[in-house]
Amino acid sequence: MTAFDDLMSFQRETEALAQVAGRLSWDQETMMPRGAAAQREEEVAALESVLHARRGDPRLGDWLASVDDAALDEANRAQLRLIRRSYERTVKVPAALAAAIARTVSRAQVTWIEAREAGDFRGFAPLLDEVLRLRREQAAALAGEDGDLYDALLDDYEPGAKGADLQAMFDRLRPRLVALRAEVLGRPSPLALGVDFHEDGQMRLARIVAESFGYDLRRGRIDKAVHPFSSGQGHDVRITTRTVPADPFNCLYSTIHETGHAGYEQNIDAAYHLTPVGGGVSMGVHESQSRIYENQLGRSRAYCGWLYERMRDEFGDFGIPDPESFYATVNRLKNGYIRTEADEVQYNLHVLLRFDLERALISGDLAVADLETAWNDRFLADFGYAVDTPANGVLQDVHWSAGLFGYFPTYTLGNVYAGCLHAALRRAVPDLDSQLAVGRTGPALAWLRERLQRFGGLRTPRATIEHAAGMPVSEEPLLDYLDAKFAGIYGLKAA
Amino acid sequence: MTAFDDLMSFQRETEALAQVAGRLSWDQETMMPRGAAAQREEEVAALESVLHARRGDPRLGDWLASVDDAALDEANRAQLRLIRRSYERTVKVPAALAAAIARTVSRAQVTWIEAREAGDFRGFAPLLDEVLRLRREQAAALAGEDGDLYDALLDDYEPGAKGADLQAMFDRLRPRLVALRAEVLGRPSPLALGVDFHEDGQMRLARIVAESFGYDLRRGRIDKAVHPFSSGQGHDVRITTRTVPADPFNCLYSTIHETGHAGYEQNIDAAYHLTPVGGGVSMGVHESQSRIYENQLGRSRAYCGWLYERMRDEFGDFGIPDPESFYATVNRLKNGYIRTEADEVQYNLHVLLRFDLERALISGDLAVADLETAWNDRFLADFGYAVDTPANGVLQDVHWSAGLFGYFPTYTLGNVYAGCLHAALRRAVPDLDSQLAVGRTGPALAWLRERLQRFGGLRTPRATIEHAAGMPVSEEPLLDYLDAKFAGIYGLKAA
Tell me which of B99, B119, B154 is where a domain ends.
B154
Rounded to whole angstroms, the Cα distance separating A164 from A441 reads: 37
The pLDDT of residue A230 is above 90: yes
pLDDT, greater one: A106 or B453: B453
B321 interfaces chain A, CB cutoff of 8 Å: no
| pLDDT (0 to 100) of residue A1 | 73
Range of the domain at B296: 158-495
Whether A10 and A109 share a structural domain: yes
- Which of A236, A238, A240, A273 is most worth mutating to test chain B (most B CB atoms within 10 A of its CB)? A236
A68 close contact with B: CB closer than 8 A = no
Rounded to a whole number, what is the distance in Å from the CA of B327 to chain A's nearest CA?
A: 34
Give me the residues of B, 12-41, that contact A with CB < 8 A. 12-14, 16-17, 19-20, 23-24, 27, 31-36, 38-40
In this structure, the answer to whether residues B46 and B97 fall within a common structural domain is: yes
Mean pLDDT confidence for B311-338: 97
Q: Does A235 touch chain B (CB under 8 A)?
A: yes
Q: How confident is the model at residue B494 (pLDDT cuts 50, 70, 90)?
A: low
pLDDT digits (tens, 9 = 90+) for A164-177: 999 999 999 999 99
- How many C-beta atoms lie closer than 10 Å to residue A343's C-beta? 17
| Statement to judge: residues A435 and A369 lie in one domain | yes
* Number of structural domains in chain B: 2
Order the strands of the B238-241 sheet from edge to edge.
Answer: B222-224, B238-241, B230-231
* H/E run at residue A231: strand A230-231
Residue B238, SS3? strand
- Which positions in chain B touch A217 (Cβ < 8 Å)? 33
Residue B1 confidence (pLDDT) above 80: no
Q: Which residues of A touch B42 (CB under 8 A)?
A: 12, 16, 274
**pLDDT-derived band at B269, boundaries 50, 70, 90:** very high
Percentage with pLDDT > 70 across chain B: 100
* Mean predicted confidence (pLDDT) in B433-442: 97
Residue A233 has a CB neighbour count (10 Å cut-off) of: 24
Task: Classify residue A63 by its DSSP letter.
Answer: H
Mark whether B150 and B163 lie in a shared domain: no
| Domain co-membership, A39 together with A182 | no
pLDDT tens readout for residues A453-478: 999 999 999 999 999 999 999 999 99
Sheet-wide strand order for A222-224: A222-224, A238-241, A230-231
CB contact under 8 A, B35 and A273: no
**Are the beta carbons of A467 and A483 closer than 8 angstroms?**
no
pLDDT at B495 over 80: no
Which pLDDT band, with edges at 50, 70 and 90, does B145 fall under? confident
Q: What residues contact residue A27 under an 8 Å CB cut-off, 6+ apart?
A: B23, B27
Comparing CB atoms, the residue among A20, A35, A217 nearest residue B20 is A20
Binary contact (A273, B47; C-beta < 8 A): no
Answer yes or no: is pLDDT of A302 > 60.
yes
The model's pLDDT over A371-400, given as tens digits with 9 standing for 90+, comes to: 999 999 999 999 999 999 999 999 999 999
User: Closest by alpha carbon to A331, among A346, A318, A321?
Assistant: A346
Rounded distance between C-alpha atoms, residue A32 and residue B216, angstroms: 13
Task: Enumerate the residues of chain B whose CB falls inside 8 A of the CB of residue A218.
Answer: 33-35
Conformation bin of residue B314: beta by default, left when phi > 0, alpha when psi is -120 to 50: alpha
Give the per-residue pLDDT at B493: 78
Test A39 with B235 for CB contact under 8 angstroms.
Answer: yes
| Distance of alpha carbon B362 from alpha carbon B138, whole angstroms | 11
State mean pLDDT over A183-194.
96
pLDDT, residue A141, reads 97
Cβ-in-10-Å burial (0-12, 13-18, 19+) of A421 comes to buried
Q: What is the pLDDT of residue B146?
A: 87
pLDDT of residue A430: 97
Given this model, what pLDDT does residue B55 score?
97
For A395-443, the pLDDT digits (tens) are 999 999 999 999 999 999 999 999 999 999 999 999 999 999 999 999 9
In percent, how much of chain A has pLDDT > 70?
Answer: 100
* Best residue of A17, A27, A39 to probe chain B, by most B CBs closer than 10 Å: A39
Is the same domain home to A122 and A199?
no
pLDDT at B115 over 90: yes
CB contact under 8 A, A27 and B23: yes
Q: Is the dihedral of CA A333, A335, A341, A343 positive or negative?
A: positive
In this prediction, residues A244-256 reach a mean pLDDT of 97
Q: Does residue B235 sit in the same domain as residue B148?
A: no
pLDDT digits (tens, 9 = 90+) for B378-392: 999 999 999 999 999
The three-class DSSP label of residue A222 is strand
State the complex-level ipTM. 0.92
With a cut of 70, say whether residue B157 has pLDDT above it: yes
Catalytic residue among B258, B294, B372, B475: B258
Residue B218: which of A13, A17, A35 has the nearest Cβ? A35
pLDDT score at A494: 59
Tens digit of pLDDT for each residue in A67-111? 988 899 999 999 999 999 999 999 999 999 999 999 999 999 999
Q: Which residues of B touch A23 (CB under 8 A)?
A: 23-24, 27, 43
> B124-136: per-residue pLDDT in tens?
999 999 999 999 9
| Residue A146 touches partner B, C-beta closer than 8 Å | no
Q: Which residues of A touch B17 (CB under 8 A)?
A: 43, 46-47, 50
Cβ–Cβ gap A39/B221 under 8 Å: no
- My answer on whether A121 and A261 are in the same domain is no
Q: B49 at the A interface (CB within 8 A)?
A: yes
A451 and A494: one domain?
A: yes
**Active site includes B74?**
no
The shares of helix, strand and coil residues in chain A, as percent rounded to the nearest 5, are 70, 0, 30
Residues facing B100 on adjacent strands: none
Minimal Cβ distance to A33: which of B35, B43, B217:
B217
Looking at B31-45, B203-217, B416-430, B451-465, which range is the least confident one? B31-45
Q: Which of B105, B123, B154 is the endpoint of a domain?
A: B154
A-chain residues near B278 (CB < 8 A): none
Smallest Cβ distance to A43: which of B19, B36, B221? B19
Q: Which of A20, A33, A217 sits opposite B219 (nearest CB)?
A: A33
| Angle CA A285–A184–A187, to nearest 5 | 155
Task: Give tens-digit pLDDT for A334-350.
Answer: 999 999 999 999 999 99
Say whether B47 and A20 touch across the interface (CB within 8 A). Answer: yes
Same domain, A10 and A115: yes
- Which chain B residue lies closest to A42 (C-alpha atoms)? B16
- Same-domain check for residues B138 and B222: no
Give tens-digit pLDDT for B5-48.
999 999 999 999 999 999 999 999 999 999 999 999 999 999 99
Kind of pairing, strands A238-241 and A230-231? antiparallel
Last residue of a domain, one of A124, A154, A184: A154
Compute the residue count for chain B.
495
Q: How many CB pairs under 8 A join A and B?
A: 104
Q: Is the pLDDT of residue A145 over 90?
A: no
Residue in A closest to B50 by C-alpha? A50
Query: Do residues A148 and A32 both lie within one domain?
Result: yes
| Mean pLDDT, residues B137-141 | 97
Is the pLDDT reported for residue A495 higher than 80?
no
